[in-house]
Amino acid sequence: MRSTLVAAIAIVAGLALVASSGASASRAHAQEADASIFYGFISPGEGGATPLKVRATISDVTCGTDEVTPLAGGLGFYVLTVAASSTKAGCGEEGAPVTFLLLSGEVDEGTPAAQTQAWGPGTQRLDLSPVPDATFGTFVGELPTGPGFGVMRWTGASATPIEQAAATIPRTVESISYFHVSTQSYRVYAPGAPAFVSSYLLVDRDDIVFVRVR
């Protein structure tokens, strides 16, 4: 499971480079087909199960469905191609709102994700969850019963001080790490350590982090 999570992070990093450089053959193919590729982590929320599939709809027209790869901590990872109207009638036009459904079975009508995004050709990262952002915010996800690592998602507002966000975790936190795709590096927060040790100071909405607890 840990190797699967590492692979997912590698995919995130690779797709981020595709989005910024425009040099990838995959993106070139997507643009030729006028497709929009969405990818990211899926959080089931508190007490929920990881969905099996994710489906994209535009005005109730199904424009793409793909499987979800389960990861540690109850999270999932997806890569989903959303068709354009030139490929399927009623699908993507520039700026059209895309709704995402999280499916738990073959006959499941799906639970709408709280997040939506405008359609556009190219590659976009969008982390999904059926849980709307909390008013004050909290980390959601699973932690080990003993010492170890867990994967969690921040549901609150962007630019929340890390000290406030960490206080919502009901365990003794040793470190919180966030992989920053633009710089291809980890930002780390270590409670109680000298200020210069910590580089992860503000938490943004839907940040996926690795939490080490005692």
How high is the pLDDT of residue 20? 42
How high is the pLDDT of residue 114? 86
Q: How far apart (Å, rounded) are the C-alpha atoms in residues 58 and 16?
A: 24
For residue 11, is pLDDT > 60?
A: no
Strand bridging mode 208-213 / 111-118: unpaired
For residue 64, is pLDDT > 90?
A: yes
How high is the pLDDT of residue 137? 73
Q: What is the pLDDT of residues 22-43, one digit of tens each?
A: 434 444 444 445 789 999 888 7
How high is the pLDDT of residue 42? 86
Domain boundaries, the chain: 2-125, 139-213
Q: How many CA atoms lie within 13 A of 166 on its CB side?
A: 22
Q: How far apart (Å, rounded) are the C-alpha atoms in residues 158 and 204?
A: 4
Task: Please state which CATH number belongs to domain 2-125.
Answer: 2.60.40
Q: What is the pLDDT of residues 168-206, one digit of tens each?
A: 888 999 999 999 888 889 999 999 888 788 999 999 988
How high is the pLDDT of residue 33? 54
| Closest listed residue to residue 75, CA positions, set 151, 144, 183 | 151
Residue 73: band (very low, low, confident or very high) from pLDDT cuts 50, 70, 90: low
Q: pTM higher than 0.85 for the full model?
A: no
Contact 151, 5 (CB under 8 A): yes
